[in-house]
């Protein structure tokens, strides 16, 4: 079982407990840093987001079934007041608990169902090739997105293209997608980047990212960019099953788009890189 699958099992088997990354780290044997990175990379949700969405979805079902006391439903979902519950419910579904109870229906709500533990991890994957790299330097365009719906990333790459001719010291012909930060609410800072020589200048409007020396597991992604999460999940499981331990730092993961990548189809020459601990 992959680490992500184990996390889903824990969260779904203990839905009313106030679980946090500390508890998940204790059970899985992985650090909070690693769990907070790998879970959203594979599922699109931060742990906090997933728990909130699942509890509110179950609360919506209770309300649609005619639950007589909204506060009791709120308390069961982990909210200490009617007001806090209503605010969270509206943010999640765009309507109020009272409206759902009156309508006796969840038909128009986007409920979040339990993630299948095999989701994203049942893909057949070729074992990686391993490569030791010295410190790597990148220059790119950094922007924030939501992990659940990172629809703005293709447009970010389009905006980055004109900058490439102004970057000195580019190494090779590949581009890299770098997740430089993921927060508890599922916010992602993503960098569309190219590798540069040490000491190369960073043009205005772009940012610099550095990876320390690492041994990389390079997994080939057979599909297009829309199915990258499947390969991330399958790669994480392969590493876990074969005794490899990915690095804890967020700057130990990258998407690689090689020279043969076809921007028209979003496919070809794509790899998922995991940095490994010694």
Query: For residue 173, what pLDDT is reported?
Result: 94
Alpha helices in the chain (DSSP H): 3-13, 21-28, 32-43, 47-64, 70-76, 82-93, 97-103, 153-164, 228-241
pLDDT digits (tens, 9 = 90+) for 207-265: 999 999 999 999 999 988 878 888 999 999 999 999 998 887 767 899 999 999 988 78
Answer for the pair 11, 51: CB distance below 8 angstroms, yes or no.
yes
CB 194 within 8 A of CB 164: yes
Rounded to the nearest integer, the mean pLDDT of the chain is 90
- Distance between CA atoms of 119 and 221, rounded to whole angstroms? 16
Residue 152's pLDDT is 84
Q: What is the CATH number of domain 129-276?
A: 3.20.80.10
Question: Which has more confidence, 133 or 277?
Answer: 133
Question: Does residue 120 surpass a pLDDT of 60?
Answer: no
Provide the CATH number for the domain formed by 3-103 in this structure: 1.10.10.60
Q: What is the pLDDT of residue 121?
A: 47
Res. 150 pLDDT band, cuts 50 70 90? confident
pLDDT-derived band at 123, boundaries 50, 70, 90: low
Across 24-48, average pLDDT:
89
Q: What is the 3-state secondary structure (H, E, C) of 131-179?
A: EEECCEEEEEEEEEEECCCCCCHHHHHHHHHHHHCCCCCECCCCEEEEE
For the chain, domain boundaries: 3-103, 129-276
pTM above 0.85, yes or no: no
81 has a pLDDT exceeding 60: yes
Q: Please provide the size of the chain in residues.
A: 278
Q: Measure the CA–CA gap between 275 and 152, rounded to whole angstroms.
A: 26
Give per-residue burial for 19-43: e unless 16+ CB within 10 Å, then b.
bebeebbeebebebebbbbbbbbbb
Asked if 187 and 146 touch (Cβ cutoff 8 Å), the reply is yes
């Amino acid at each position: 079982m992959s680490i992500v699958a184990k996390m889903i099992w824990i969260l779904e088997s203990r839905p009313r407990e106030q679980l946090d990354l500390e508890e998940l780290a204790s059970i899985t044997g992985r650090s909070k840093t690693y769990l907070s990175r790998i879970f959203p990379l594979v599922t699109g949700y931060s742990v906090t987001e997933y728990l909130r969405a699942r509890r509110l979805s179950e609360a919506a079902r209770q309300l649609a079934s005619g639950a007589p006391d909204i506060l009791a439903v709120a308390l069961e979902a982990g909210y200490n007041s009617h007001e806090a519950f209503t605010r969270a419910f509206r943010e999640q579904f765009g309507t109020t608990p009272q409206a759902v109870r009156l309508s006796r229906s969840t038909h128009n709500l986007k409920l979040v169902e339990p993630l299948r533990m095999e989701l994203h991890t049942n893909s057949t994957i070729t074992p990686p090739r391993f490569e030791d790299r010295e410190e790597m330097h990148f220059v790119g365009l950094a922007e924030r997105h939501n992990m659940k719906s990172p629809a703005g990333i293709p447009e970010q790459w389009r905006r980055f293209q004109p900058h490439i001719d102004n970057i000195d010291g580019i190494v090779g012909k590949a581009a890299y997608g770098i997740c430089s930060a993921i927060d508890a609410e599922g916010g992602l800072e993503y960098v569309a980047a190219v590798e540069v020589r040490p000491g190369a200048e960073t043009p205005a409007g772009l940012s610099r990212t550095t990876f320390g020396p690492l041994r990389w597991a390079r997994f080939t992604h057979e599909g297009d960019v829309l199915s990258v999460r499947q390969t991330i999940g399958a790669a994480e499981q392969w590493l876990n099953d074969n005794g490899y331990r990915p690095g804890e730092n967020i700057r130990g993961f990258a998407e690689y788009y090689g020279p043969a990548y076809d921007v028209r189809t979003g496919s070809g020459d794509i790899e998922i890189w995991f940095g490994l601990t010694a």
